[in-house]
Amino acid sequence: MFKFFASFTFIEGITITIALIAILISLISLFNDNKKNRRELRISKLEEMLEINLYFLTYYQYLIDIVEKREKIFENGKKGIDILVDEVTADQDATEFLEIVGKTNFDRNLMRFNVLANSYLPNGELKLKCLSLVELIANLYNYSVYKVYEVRKTHPKFPLRKVYFDYIEEVEKELISEMKLGYESSKDIKRIEYYQTFKKELNI
């Protein structure tokens, strides 16, 4: 190796050394830029999750109002009370909701939030909280808009807007503090187990 450098003049040696240093600096810069880009990408995805959280909150009470009408219809139906007028009203509200938000848009946000939580959050409680929120909203949406009464078996009631708001506010704080990248999807069994804890916290 020393013989290799000895074959060059002093000036040539300096030139080669400077070139090697420049290459090394470029590689370090490239590595740092890549790391920075990955971090910026993750931050943008977490910001998107925050936006979707706010989106769900915006329409939460609207869906809860429809659920209350569905519950009244369900109870009156068991008592033999005429439910036709109430059912028409609830269906009209559901149709109006879809006209306001757009079915495709709401479905996309549900799927998007789920994908982002699985892709950009580390396996842990925050990921489980976010996945549980998706499940909660999906069940609320299916029951209120599409009359999927089977939802009542797992969700005999839904949290009040204030309770829901306080919960997602804490989730938002945790999302904002997240800064890492590249985590695996949460295992389904852990998600199912945690959802029971989640329901207890919201008195469901």
Distance CA 26, CA 33 (A): 10
Q: What is the average pLDDT value for the chain, to the nearest integer?
A: 83
In the numeric block, which tokens belong to residue 34? 């890549």
Query: Which pLDDT band, with edges at 50, 70 and 90, does 185 fall under?
Result: low
Domain extent listing, the chain: 40-201
Q: Which among 110, 136, 124 is positioned nearest to 184, based on CA atoms?
A: 124
**What percent of the chain stands above pLDDT 90?**
42
C-alpha 169/C-alpha 83 separation (Å) is 38
Q: What is the pLDDT of residues 121-177, one digit of tens each?
A: 988 999 999 999 999 999 999 999 998 988 888 888 899 999 999 999 899 888 888
